[in-house]
Chains A and B, each alone.
Chain A
Amino acid sequence: MDDGKDRVRLSVLDVSQAKLDPADALAFVSDPGFGGLSMFVGKVRDLNHGRDVLGVSYDMFDSLALTVFRQAAAEAFAGCGPKLKVYVAHAKGRLAVGDVAVVVAAGSPHRDEAFRACRAVIEAVKHRAPIWKQEHYRDGDSVWSEGCSLCVPADGHDGQGH
């Protein structure tokens, strides 16, 4: 498992302190030997389940979320590496429509590994990281999103909702 600081960068950013920067992600996963960089940028959408959304608030168990990010990166190295760099940054706090909520990037010598690593890591972030989204609607209501259960059944397999 290679999770050295020069190959993996993981962060949680409080949006009252700093904004997520996709350029920072691309710079980090760049390398003279890498011909392929892949990036996913998740932004706050203005409509969900037919309701007008003004913004969202993200709650997070920071230390455990970073552990899940690290595991996801390690799995990417095992499945797509070893020549790989992985970047994950997730926002915490209140965001407005159009603000960047998450950035995942991967760099590798060729595009296939970069695409696969980026996809695997963002799916792990969305389905396994202890992060919760509360949507704020134009009508003044706020609702915590239905999400993926992290319950682990007795047979030991992950009980992922979707």
Chain B
Amino acid sequence: MKIELKLFGAFREFDPAPHIVLEVAEGAKVADLRRAVLDYATSRWPAFRPGLLAGSAFASDTEVLRDDAVLPVDGRMAVLPPVSGG
């Protein structure tokens, strides 16, 4: 299945587009998406640091999802680096 992954904060530095598209297996979990992002980032983003991804969470359009959660069927996800609002 295709995942449209929105980029925020420090991740915006790596790609001019607001999201990237990744392919994962049907029924894949957040942990699988995390590995797919790591593969994508290490091969395409020279300035990428794995530590940024390790500290980042993943969310659907409505909630932060744990690594063992199944990805939503609509394929709409976001990667959330550590937050710094206020």
Contact = CB atoms under 8 A, between A and B. Distances in A.
Interface residue SS majority, chain B:
loop
Interface residue SS majority, chain A:
mixed
A148 B86 contact: no
Nearest to B6: A61
B55 A131 contact: no
Contact of B83 (A122, A130, A134, A156): A130
A101 B85 CA distance: 9
Interface of A: 42, 58-61, 63-65, 67, 90, 101-102, 122, 125-134, 144-152, 154, 156, 161
Contacts of A161: 55, 82
B56 interface: yes
A147 B66 contact: no
A63 B85 contact: no
A6 to B, nearest CB: 25
What is the size category of the interface that chain B forms with chain A?
20 to 34
B56 to A, nearest CB: 7
B8 A130 contact: yes
Interface of B: 6, 8-10, 12-13, 55-57, 59, 61-64, 66-68, 78, 80-86
Nearest to B7: A59
Contact of B86 (A131, A150, A156): A131
A149 B54 CA distance: 9
A154 B83 contact: no
Q: Which residue, B56, B67, B81, has most C-beta atoms of chain A within 10 A?
A: B81
Contacts of A58: 85
